Structure 1
Amino acid sequence: MLLMAFFLEAVLHLLYKQWASEESLFPLKNGLPGQILQAMHTSQIVLVDNAPKGTQLKLLLQIEGKHKLYFKPKRYQLSDVINGNIYAGFDRHNSEVFAYYLAIVLNFTWIAPSVIRKIHVNNDILPVATIGLKKTMVKNASGSFCIYGKCYYCKINETVCPDDKGQIEGAAILYLDKTFKIYKSPWRRSYTSKKMEWEKDNNFCKKVISTHSTKRLLNLIDVAIFDFLIQNGDRHRYEVYKGKIVLFDNGKGLGNPMVDELDILAPLYQCCMLSSSTWQHLEMLSGGSLTETVKLLSSFQQAKLATEDHYKAVERRLLKIYATVQYCIGKHSSAKVFKNT
């Protein structure tokens, strides 16, 4: 057991030494992804605290080797449908993990590893909880300790409680202890009834082109495609490292499998440009292979990440992306739509 712990710590140490090549945020070769995920899934927790920032409850776990994980707790059953606007409800923990595998299949490699993990409140949290965390814990009617956390929207009457085994399930996401440049998204929402400029002006992209490089714009369009597939309409800002947008905060995906909010694709259909490599990769994923590959890669989790309705929705949305690209080709020609990067 000690040998295994030493091995997993060494894996994470190697991860940090190889941080962010020009191709990916984390190493993706020689079996390292699986070793990293295994370390995140099984390493002993030595400290638990409230995460320092954010709008929703999440914990900060320190594991062996002083490495850290964000922990977003389960708020919904997989079959729950989130009604309302595109950013309604709590974050979905399964969306964070689903997004990790989806990004890898799409060859969008600037995303933090994420796993489903269960932590026992009495065994894993209470013995190593900080004083600050304990102050945000209350007992429920059955005597179990529940957590309401410390965040912008955290409320004492909206707690996360353990299941009948004393465990809390959630997404464990590798904490990236680096400095990122933060930008407001040109296609951000107002979060009110007020419409933003991009929602009123179909020529909005001309203004974006005047202030953004082609490389950054193509990156934003890739992110829009990714967000459309999972229906994450909450990317009001984005973080950049080594010139690439990092896919943080994917918890608002997988809300309602029956709804496709097309305006998430606005960067694509307003700008009508796309990286040639992205298009080639998307074409290879037709006919159900996109979600089949996600299922295959995520089988390590030994936990269901989405309902069949959500998998069908992803495939349906992929067809709409194809249709949008064909619309752009018909309007401008392939030579003008596809860009080499």
Structure 2
Amino acid sequence: MKLKHRFVCVVTFTVIGLLGLHVVLFTGLPNLIPIDPVVRNDAVVGLRDISVGEHPHLRAGRKRLNKSNFTSDADFADANGTLPKSPRGEITHGRDNGQSFVASEPKTGEKDVLRNFKNTKVDKMLLLLTEKSRKKFDLSKFDSLDYLFFLKSLTSRLRKNRNTLPVYHNYKGDTNWERFHLGINQYSLYSPDDSSISSLLKDMNRMPIVDVDMKEGGTQLKLIITFEDEGQALMKPMRYPRSQETLPNHFYFVDYERHNAEIAAFHLDRALGFYRVPPTTGRLLNMTTEIKKFADRKLAKTFFYSPAGNLCFHGSCSYYCDTSHAICGHPDTLEVSMATFLPPEEVANRKTWRNPWKRSYSKHRKAYWEVYDDLCDKVRERPPYNQGRRLLDLMDITIFDFIIGNMDRHHYETFIDFGNDTYPIHMDHGRGFGKPNHDEMSIMAPVLQCCLIRYSTFIKLVKLYRGPQTLSDVFESFASQETIAPILTKPHLTAMNRRVAIILQVVDKCLEDNSVDEVIVDDHI
């Protein structure tokens, strides 16, 4: 009997031991150790020193990010600790127990709510920068200058020798999409003065369609549209009304893509003077005569009429291509985005790079940078980030993604012909503009961890912060020309201006522990 009991005990403890080993192997040892960061009012990142005696398997002095400090909402306490009211007049409580990056509460009135997000710390930082270098940071002389003229004067300092793609050196384009390809250069996808871009947008908005194909790969349906001049565009259909926000319980990687987010990203890219997003516009399509008529058999057989009498289809893709996720017209009119194709890779090959700050795309695991804040030190040591412009380009992408609320930046591409001294192409923004009342501070992790921003980008943001034109004003000057305008609702326009102020607060925080020349780097781009 005793032997039987001993046998049962041995088996029980063996099973428990194996289960424990399974947990360690599959969840990671750090997840088993509760390391609660100390929240300090004067720090962006909560720090907790882990002594060797306490946990000898963890390197002493490692910093862990305070995740509550990497999340912010639209409403925050002000500098005196007073909780502001939301636009609905409710008292709201921020998630942050430490210092938040916030803009002060706007003045009352619809127009003022859109525009005024001032912060005393940012104002003080700008004053100190002006005193340090009036030539570089004093923008008061530009206050009366229109932002687009200011942007043109700023970008004119770029090197004049803009190398274009070698394959087009001896080629003259006959169509607008060919002229766009001809204009792709080492520093931008197009020049803001290129008249063929506006003509290309009109072509994608009006030109007759002659062929429709499904794009292979991806979790959601995308169609390749061919026009009568043989130009092509990537079409994303409307799934959401403009006012519908990302559901609070949805992860960033399961959200539907928004067609208007692609259009808005293009116009925002123009407003920021990056010119790295392929030309994109909106269009109203007749699903019967412009999609189904030219669809192949595989796509055509997915068309059906809904109980409401609307024409629908779902196509084929990895996840959201079935009857329950169908795309429906009203009754057969569908709003879509059209993004022009880049040159074929056979003639202008591109290299795909993994974003160092890529997310885990898991419900359970976090990426390294979400747990530890030393990733930038590692990134700075390896090419192409150890020299040249690429790390500053990543900071530009980070700022762009923070303004649109895009958490889905897993990879980026560059043209191989231009080597490493070129920009990353900004593509695939369908998961942006989902939460206008929530500022996802984790997107800003690269800037926070590297404490780095490009001088030209910083100056643009300062100009937009000072006014009189705000980022939403400049954005609307482009987006209002769309045939399916308005592209964004007012809460998203408000969020743009609010996030400009928050980015400048991040820079101010970095300047507390680093010199101006280390944080704000002028690479003449």
**Same fold judged by TM-score > 0.5?**
yes
Tell me whether 1:61 sits opposite 2:225 in the alignment. yes
Residues 29-44 of structure 1 correspond to what in structure 2 (within 5 A)? 29-44=193-208
Aligned with 1:210: secondary structure? Answer: coil
Q: Which residue number corresponds to residue 521 of structure 2? A: 339
Q: 1:204 corresponds to which residue?
A: 375
- Which digits, 9 at most, give the CA deviation of each residue in 1:270-327, with x for residues without a partner? 0011111111122122245211010011121031111100110111111110000111
Asked if residue 236 in structure 1 is aligned to residue 410 in structure 2, the reply is: yes
Within 5 Å, give how 1:1-341 maps onto structure 2: 10-18=175-183, 20-84=184-248, 85-142=251-308, 144-156=310-322, 157-164=324-331, 166-176=332-342, 177-178=344-345, 179-192=349-362, 193-211=364-382, 212-214=385-387, 215-241=389-415, 242=418, 243-286=422-465, 287=467, 289-302=470-483, 303-341=485-523
The answer to whether the Cα contact below 8 Å between 1:257 and 1:310 also exists between their aligned partners in 2 is: yes
Show CA shifts across 1:80-138 (max 9, x none).
11123344420011110000010111111111011111110111112211223213333
Distance between the aligned counterparts of 2:320 and 2:301, measured in 1?
Answer: 13
CA separation in 2, counterparts of 1:72 and 1:61?
A: 10
- State the Cα distance separating 1:24 from its structure 2 match: 1.6
Distance (whole Å) between structure 1 residues aligned to residue 340 and residue 177 of structure 2:
10
Contact 2:220/2:318, CA 8 A, preserved across alignment: yes
Structure with more strand by fraction: 1
1:87–1:232 contact (8 Å) kept in structure 2: no
TM, length-normalised to structure 1: 0.92
Aligned length, in residue pairs:
332
1:52 Cα offset (Å): 2.0
Q: Which amino acid aligns with 1:171?
A: S
- Match for residue 3 of structure 1? none
Q: What is the one-letter code of the residue matched to 1:54?
A: G
Residues 73 and 160 in structure 1, CA contact (< 8 A), matched pair in contact too:
yes
Between 1:97-106 and 1:280-289, the stretch displaced more is 280-289
Letter aligned with residue 279 of structure 1: F
Is the contact made by 2:209 and 2:228 (CA closer than 8 Å) also made in structure 1?
yes
Deviation of 1:155 (Å): 2.8
SS of structure 2 residue aligned to 1:253: coil
Q: Return the offset for 1:148.
A: 0.9
The 3-state SS of whatever aligns with 1:239 is: strand
Contact 1:47–1:61 at 8 Å: present in 2 too?
yes
Secondary structure at the aligned position of 2:480 is classed as: helix
Say which is worse superposed, 278-287 or 97-106, in terms of deviation: 278-287
Structure 1 residue aligned with 2:20: none
Aligned-partner residue type, residue 101 of structure 1: H
Match of 2:29 in 1: none
- With over 3 angstroms needed to count, the CA separation of the structure-2 counterparts of 1:69 and 1:9, relative to structure 1, is farther
For the structure 1 residues 9 and 75, does the alpha-carbon distance in structure 2 shift closer, same or farther, using more than 3 Å as the test?
A: farther
Distance in 2 between the 1:9 and 1:52 partners? Answer: 29
Instruction: Quickly say closer, same or farther: Cα 1:155–1:30, change in 2 above 3 A.
Output: closer
Q: Secondary structure at the match of 2:517?
A: helix
Residue by residue over 1:30-72, the C-alpha shift from the partner in whole angstroms, topping out at 9 and shown as x without a partner, is 4222111111111110001111232211111001221111110
Counterpart residue type for residue 178 of structure 2 = H
1:317 partner amino acid: R
| Cα separation, 2, equivalents of 1:15 and 1:237 | 24
- Say if 1:9 and 1:64, in contact at 8 Å, map to a contact too: no
Show structure 2 runs of 5+ residues with no match.
1-172
User: Contact (CA 8 Å) 1:25, 1:111: kept in 2 or not?
Assistant: yes
**RMSD over aligned Cα atoms:** 1.7
Q: Provide the rounded CA distance (Å) in 2 between the counterparts of 1:65 and 1:79.
A: 35
The answer to whether the Cα contact below 8 Å between 1:148 and 1:158 also exists between their aligned partners in 2 is: yes
Q: Would you say the 8 A contact 2:277–2:425 is kept in 1?
A: yes
Consecutive unaligned residues in structure 1, runs of 5 or more: 1-7
Partners in 1 of 2:428 and 2:361 — Cα distance?
17
Alignment check: 8 A CA contact 2:311 2:330 kept: no
CA distance in 2: counterparts of 1:42 and 1:155, whole angstroms: 27
> Identity rate of aligned residues, in percent?
31
User: TM-score of the superposition, structure 2-length normalised?
Assistant: 0.61
